[in-house]
Amino acid sequence: MQQTKHIITTVSVLLALSVALTLGALGAGAIGGGFSVTPIFPENQLPESLGFFDLIVKPGMHQTIKIKITNTTSEEVSVSTITFTPTTNINGIIDYGSPGIPNETLSVNFAEIAVPERDITLLSPGETRYLSIDISIPDKGFDGMVLGAIKTINNITDAQLVEAAEEGTIINRFTFSIPVRLQIGTDAVEPQLIFGGISTRLINHRAAIVAEIINPLPRITRYVTATATVYPQDEGESHLLFTRGDIEVEFAPHSVFPLAFVDEAGVGLSPGLYTAVIHLEHEGKVWEFKEDFEILATEANALSEGALNLQAAQPERSLFGILADIELWMFLTLVGILTLFIVVIIFTIKVNRSRKDFIKQKRR
């Protein structure tokens, strides 16, 4: 029981740490990679939101928000800061950690309205410095919300790279991302999801069919469940090529969720006509998409060339071809077992005949 408690405690700590690193749970500051980052909340911060900037703004408003960066080491630390608009990643979650490509429906890009006062912050050992981010709200305002992220990264110097190369070690880059949500009002925007098309690509060096689901609105839509299938048109739904079920997705505003059917088995994608069927649900609302598409021979060949897990096609082989590949010792073993099996059968038949003859003679 005591060991179980230790395991649960350890797992809880690791989960808490991963949340802090990934989403910037920074209400009291996050530490790692030689520096810590803490948001300084302004007066227009919504009080119920902890760990990220959640601001009520006005059209044409200019505001400066600040973050505190502290060097937690005994050496000089260099920290870069960027701003960007989060998107929905392939795992169906909002990615505050790395810039993506927002959908074309995006009208207000956080990276364009939120500008850090400097790109790089140099910190002496133990030093604390404040970094300002200037935010300019468009004069015409915006509907719904603008979602953003402030990302800080510890820079790696050329000297560190040389030292790591000489010692054969790996240098980790630590990042902290603080989510930012800007709202002019808190009125809810009704959710809407639209189909964006189907394409093929390589994902982690594996062939994949990708269906794009778009959130065209300035709102976060969470807890969307998705099920999807792909089948060849000439064979119908009874011969499913891919199936995915019970996917839970959260959509960032104006983002695209790449719903991927990945060829994990490495059998390859064949040219032909296919149909994708996608079913989405959110709080009682349902979206159904059915799309016919074609995989061209050029696409299939390109994917096959780039896929690292592709299994080589096995040609039809004759019995003699199969026997030719069998090792000699295996062949002799098989022959020995077969011979022994035949001998046992013959011996059993002879014994049974002898017993029958003996019984007949005894009865006489």
The pLDDT of residue 264 is above 90: yes
Q: Grade residue 19 by pLDDT with cuts at 50, 70 and 90.
A: very low
Q: Grade residue 11 by pLDDT with cuts at 50, 70 and 90.
A: very low
More confident residue, 263 or 335: 263
Task: Look over the chain and give the mean of its residue pLDDT values, rounded to a whole number.
Answer: 84
Q: What is the mean pLDDT of residues 241-259?
A: 95
The pLDDT of residue 132 is above 80: yes
Residue 16's pLDDT is: 32
Residue 127's pLDDT is: 97
**Domains delineated in the chain:** 31-183 (2.60.40.10), 194-306 (2.60.40.10)
More confident residue, 152 or 185: 152
- Residue 26 CA to residue 150 CA, distance in Å, equals 12
Using one digit for the tens of pLDDT, what is the confidence trace for 20-79? 333 333 444 565 678 999 999 999 999 888 889 999 999 999 999 999 999 999 999 999
Q: Which of 152, 121, 115 is nearest to 134 (CA)?
A: 115
Q: Grade residue 348 by pLDDT with cuts at 50, 70 and 90.
A: confident
Q: What is the mean pLDDT of residues 12-20?
A: 33
- Residue 152 CA to residue 115 CA, distance in Å, equals 13
- Residue 40 CA to residue 131 CA, distance in Å, equals 10
If you search the block for the tokens 């749970």, which residue do you land on? 25
The pLDDT of residue 271 is above 70: yes
Q: Which of 201, 193, 219, 221 is nearest to 278 (CA)?
A: 193
More confident residue, 321 or 225: 225
Residue 27's pLDDT is: 43
End-to-end Cα separation, the chain, in angstroms: 79
Q: What is the mean pLDDT of residues 91-97?
A: 95
For 333, the enclosing helix (H) or strand (E) is: helix 328-363
Residue 21's pLDDT is: 37
The pLDDT of residue 105 is above 90: yes
Residue 282's pLDDT is: 96
The pLDDT of residue 151 is above 50: yes
What are the b/e assignments for 72-96, b being 16+ CB within 10 Å? beeeebbbbbebbbbbbbeebbbbb
Residue 334's pLDDT is: 73
The pLDDT of residue 18 is above 50: no
More confident residue, 359 or 192: 192
Residue 363's pLDDT is: 57
Residue 275's pLDDT is: 97
The pLDDT of residue 320 is above 60: no
More confident residue, 336 or 72: 72
Q: What is the mean pLDDT of residues 314-340?
A: 62
Residue 218's pLDDT is: 96
Using one digit for the tens of pLDDT, what is the confidence trace for 155-207? 876 666 667 677 777 777 789 999 999 999 888 889 999 999 999 999 999 99
The pLDDT of residue 14 is above 70: no
Out of 11-20, 125-134, 354-363, give the one with best mean pLDDT. 125-134
